[in-house]
Chain A
Amino acid sequence: MAKHTGRGIAAIEYPTGMNQNGDPSQCWIKVKPDGRIDVFAGTADIGNGSKTIQSQIVAETIGVPYDWITYDNSNTDSSPVCTGTFASRATFVAGKAAEKAALQVKQKILEIAGKEMEIDPADLEIVDGEVIAKGAPQTKLGVGDVAAAATWGHGELITGTGAQLKPYAAIIDPETGEVDLPPHSAISYASCAAEVEVDDETGEVRVTRLQQCYDVGRALNPSHVEGQIEGGAMMGLGLGILENCYPYYPSVEHRGGAFGSYLAPGMEDMPQIDTIMIENPSADGPYGAKGIGEMANNPQPPAIAAAVYDAVGVWVTELPITPERVLRALEAKAEPTREGKKVVFDEELSVNAVSSGGMRFEVPA
C-alpha cells in the first residue's frame, strides 16, 4: 500500500445577485405603539439566514436592540415582492431593501421625537432604543414613548418601505456579448488550498485539509458567514470526490435513489477547514456586505484536482475524482499530445472524439 499526499490551490470570483440584475426585493416595516418593530419581507430562509441578517440590518439602521425586531417572511399577503433566495442575493439585495425601509422608519421616529422634544430632528439620533439629542445625551426620549405619542397623540402610523432594484443589463450585441450596463452587483473573490491523501492501489482520495480565504465584503454576522463557508466547503468536497447523479455518465444506469447510493458528504469525510475572511466592503451592499453563500462550494474541486496531481501525478478532469477515475488515470499514465506549440490534454473527451458532423472544437495555431 502506498499513500501519497499532495496540495493544490485555486482562486475564483463570483457575482453577488442575479446575473444581469433586474431582480427586485422589497420590504416594509411598521412600529408598534411600544416601539417594537415588525418587518415584513418575502425572502425565504432556506438556512441562509434571511430572518437573522435582515433583522440585524433593521435593528442597526434604526438604532434599536436586535430583540425588538420581529421578522415575518411567512406569506405573500403580508409581504411585498422579493424575487427570492438564490443567486447570493438575500443579504445583498433583500437586505438593502430592509435597510432602506429602516431608514424611513428612523426618519419618522426622529420627526415625531422632534415634535415631542421640541428639537430639530436633524439634531437627534437613535441609540439603543432611545432618541438622544446630539451632544446632550441626558436629553432623551425612548423610542417606545415616541411610538406611543405617534399612535395616541399624533394619530400617525410609523412605517417605512424600501425597494431595491438594479436595472436589467441587456445584451445589446449577441455576437459579442456586449451589455449596456454592469451585469453584476458586487463581485466576491476567494482562494483555496486543498491537501489530500491518495491511495495509489485503491485510488481512494481523502481530503485532509482545506484552507480558504474569502472576501466577504462585510461579515454582518461572522458566525453566520463561517457557517456558509464551512457548509460550502463540504459541498465542494462532495463535488470534488464524492457526488454524482450518474455514476456511469453519460449513461444513466445505476443512478442512486437513496443516501446509501448517492454519496453526500458525511461527518467522517470532514477535513480540517481553516477560514480567512477578508472584509473589502462592496460599494452598495448593506453595510458593505457581499453574497458569498453560493461561491462557497466553487474553489474546492479544482484545488482538490491539483492536489491529486501533486500526490500521484495524474490529472482527473471529470468530476467527481472517484477511486475508479484515479486508478484508470494511473493505469493510462496519459501524456498530452505535443505538436508544435500545442499541448493537448483529454483528446478522448472532446466533442471531436464523437463528432460525426461539423460540430468540432477548432483551435487556431
Chain B
Amino acid sequence: MNLTVNGVAHEVSGSELAPLLDVLREELGSMGAKAGCHQGGCGSCTVLVDGEPRRSCLLPAGYADGTQITTVEGLGAPEDLMPIQQAFVHYYAAQCGFCTSGMMLAAQAYLDRGGTDDPEAIQHALAGHVCRCTGYSKIIDAVAATARGDSFDLTTTAVGKHTTMANGGPE
C-alpha cells in the first residue's frame, strides 16, 4: 500500500484490513491521531483522507492506498499555525488536548467545504467528536471565528460569550 502522510510517501506492507490508525501510529510513528476508542465512538483518531475527514480507527488501511493523508502534524507547525489552530489557542478550546487533533481536523474539513459560523451547523458537523473537558462551547466559538475569517491575538484569549464577571473582577 502507498500512503502519503503529510506529504511524505510511505510504502506499507501488512493487512489491508488493519485500521489506518494502527498503521499510522505503530508502523509510521505518526502519533497525532489518538487511539481513544478503536470503536469509531470518540473522534480523536480523525484524519483527512484526500481532504475528507475519516475515523482512522474504522478505515481499513487498504482503502487509504494511494491517498493523501493529513494528520494534525500536517496542519501548521508551532511557528506557522493555521487559522483553525490559532483559533483553538485564542479561544482556549483545548483542555487536556486528547480530542483536539481529531476535533481540529474535522473542523478544518468543515471550513474547507465552505462551512459558516452558524453554531448549529458546526455542532452538526462535529457532532460525533467527544470532548469530556470543555463542554464544547469554546470549540464552537473557535470554529465560528475561523469561518468568519477573524485574525487571532495569540498573547491573550477570548472573553467567554456568555460570561459576566460580578463584583469588580478583571473585566
Contacts and interface: CB of A to CB of B under 8 A. Distances in A.
Direct contact of A and B (CB under 8 A): yes
Given A258-B41, A267-B126, A278-B166, A230 B135 contact: yes
Given A48-B95, A278-B166, A279-B167, A270 B135 contact: yes
Contacts of A180: none
Interface stretch (A6-14, A75-83, A196-204, A218-226): A218-226
A277 interface: yes
B110 to A, nearest CB: 12
A359 interface: no
A47 interface: yes
Given A230-B134, A273-B137, A279-B167, A222 B160 contact: yes
Nearest to A232: B135
B133 A227 contact: yes
A259 B42 contact: yes
Say what secondary structure dominates the interface of chain A.
Answer: mixed
A268 interface: yes
A46 B164 CA distance: 26
B169 interface: yes
Contacts of B123: 267-268, 270
Nearest to B165: A277
Interface string B84-99: 0000000010011100
A273 B119 CA distance: 14
Interface string A207-248: 000000100000100111011011111110000000000000
Interface in B126-145: 126-140
A283 B140 CA distance: 36
A272 interface: yes
Given A222-B170, A259-B37, A259-B41, A279 B133 contact: no
Interface in A52-95: none
B167 A230 contact: no
Nearest to B138: A227
A327 interface: no
A264 B126 CA distance: 15
B130 A259 contact: yes
A180 B154 CA distance: 49
B37 A258 contact: yes
Measured as residues with beta carbon below 8 angstroms from the partner, the interface class of chain A is 35 or more
B165 A266 contact: no
Nearest to A209: B162
B39 A259 contact: yes
B157 interface: yes
B165 A268 contact: no
B124 interface: yes
Given A223-B157, A273-B162, A231 B167 contact: no
A266 B158 contact: no
A260 B123 CA distance: 18
Contacts of A267: 122-123, 126-127, 129, 136, 139-140
Nearest to B119: A270
A264 B132 contact: yes
A276 B166 contact: yes
B165 A219 contact: yes
Interface of A: 45-49, 213, 219, 222-224, 226-227, 229-235, 258-260, 264, 266-268, 270, 272-280
Given A231-B133, A276-B163, 8 more contacts: A227-B92, A227-B95, A227-B135, A230-B134, A230-B135, A230-B137, A231-B95, A270-B137
Interface of B: 37, 39, 41-42, 92, 95-97, 122-124, 126-140, 157-160, 162-171
